[in-house]
Amino acid sequence: MSVIEPVTCAWLEERGFAVRKPAIWHAALTHGSMGEPADYERLEFLGDRVLGLAVAQLLYERSEAPEGALALRLNAVVSRQMCAQVAREIGLPAHVRISKQAQADGGRDSDNILGDVMEALLGAQFLDNGYQAARELIGALWGPALDRGEGRRKHPKSALQEWAAGNQRRPPEYELVDRSGPDHAARFTVRVRVHKVGEAEGTASSKQEAEKAAAAEFMEKFG
């Protein structure tokens, strides 16, 4: 049976996770590069849905905002970047089980990997302790982001789209111009262009985040 190192088990418990079935948590912390029978991918799939439901419920309870505003905030609060931020805040990188090669490639500090493992831990919390326990944990870990109004500001791509329309310009065009690094630590560079105005680029760990960064850079330069 897969077991959790005592120091990792103590770390989980200190941060609000409740470890009853060690094998689930062992898998949640294991990257595919380890070549073990179980890794975090299936648990990440589950945890992503648990996180979305819990945050949607919290937003609904805390706000009278309309559906569109709630959806924007939800997307911001459950983004991979936010999951990675929470992961770093609780000290997760040191406990990810990852091969030496993947670690050398930057995997231990990858937003993609940290975000996925964070969601896998939420999936483990749900399976091992039920939805209410998972919801309470999410409320505690994501509470600061909710309290500071994460996602209330307009998404950069939406802002750029509206700016172009308001200035009687063609819609912005996004183009992937570069992808580098291994799959688990990939970097994407996207260029956004508005006809007869200019262009800007953004780089991030996913194409979506790179588009967002490019739109923000464009607005900074031309908005």
Q: What is the CATH number of the domain that holds 192?
A: 3.30.160.20
Domain limits at 190?
156-222
> Quick check: 38 and 27 in contact, CB under 8 A?
yes
Residue range 157-215, pLDDT digits in tens: 988 888 888 788 999 999 999 999 988 889 999 999 999 999 999 999 999 999 999 99
* Together in a domain, 103 and 191: no
Check whether 91 has a pLDDT greater than 90. yes
CB 82 within 8 A of CB 162: no
Q: Fill in the amino acid letter for 132.
A: Q
Residue 23 tokens read as 């094998």
- Kindly report the CATH number assigned to the domain that includes residue 80: 1.10.1520.10
98, 163: one domain:
no
Q: Which of 39, 48, 128, 217 is catalytic?
A: 48
* 119 catalytic residue (yes or no): yes
- In a domain? residue 100: yes
Are 29 and 127 within one domain? yes
Determine contact, residues 93/112, Cβ cutoff 8 Å.
no
pLDDT, residue 195, reads 94
Instruction: Please tell me whether residues 134 and 38 are part of one structural domain.
Output: yes
Residue 177 lies in a domain: yes
DSSP string, 29-92: TB-GGG--S--SHHHHHHHHHHHHHHHHHHHHHH----HHHHHHHHHHHTSHHHHHHHHHHTTG
Kindly state whether residue 1 falls inside one of the protein's structural domains.
no
Whether the CB-CB separation of 72 and 63 falls below 8 Å is answered with: no
Percent of the chain with pLDDT over 70: 97
pLDDT in tens, 112-130: 999 999 999 999 999 999 9
In angstroms, the CA 55 to CA 74 distance is 7
Q: What is the CA angle 126-56-94, rounded to 5?
A: 50
Q: Is residue 57 a part of any domain in this protein?
A: yes
Last residue of a domain, one of 121, 147, 173: 147
Which residues have CB under 8 Å from 69's CB, separation 6+?
Answer: 63, 152
In a domain, 50, yes or no: yes
44: how many CB neighbours lie within 10 A of its CB?
A: 20
Residue 194, beta-bridge partner list: 198
How many domains would you assign to the chain? 2
90 shares its domain with 167: no
Q: Among 83, 117, 147, give the residue marking a domain's end.
A: 147
Q: Is residue 215 part of a domain?
A: yes
CA distance readout (Å), 178 to 5, 22, 90, 205: 40, 41, 32, 12
Band of pLDDT at residue 153, cut at 50, 70 and 90? low
For residues 95-122, average pLDDT? 95
- Which residues, in sequence order, are bridge partners of residue 41? none
Q: Is the pLDDT of residue 69 over 80?
A: no
Whether residues 180 and 82 share a domain: the answer is no
Which tens digits make up the pLDDT trace of 7-24?
999 999 999 999 999 999
Q: Is 173 an annotated catalytic residue?
A: no
Rounded CA separation 19/125 (Å): 8
Per DSSP, what are the bridge partners of residue 189?
Answer: 178, 203
For residues 142 and 162, state if they share a domain.
no
At residue 80, does pLDDT exceed 60?
Answer: yes
Are 119 and 163 within one domain?
A: no
| pLDDT value of position 203 | 95
- Range of weakest confidence among 84-93, 143-152, 167-176, 190-199: 143-152
Domain final residue pick, 147, 182, 198: 147
DSSP H or E run through 175: strand 173-180
Same domain, 90 and 126: yes
Contacts with 130 (C-beta within 8 Å, 6 or more apart), sequence order = none
Task: Mark whether 99 and 140 lie in a shared domain.
Answer: yes
- Average model confidence (pLDDT) for the chain? 92
Note whether 23 and 2 are within 8 A (CB): yes
1: pLDDT strictly greater than 60: no
Q: Do residues 193 and 100 share a domain?
A: no
Active-site residue among 39, 44, 116, 119?
Answer: 119
In a shared domain, residues 40 and 138: yes
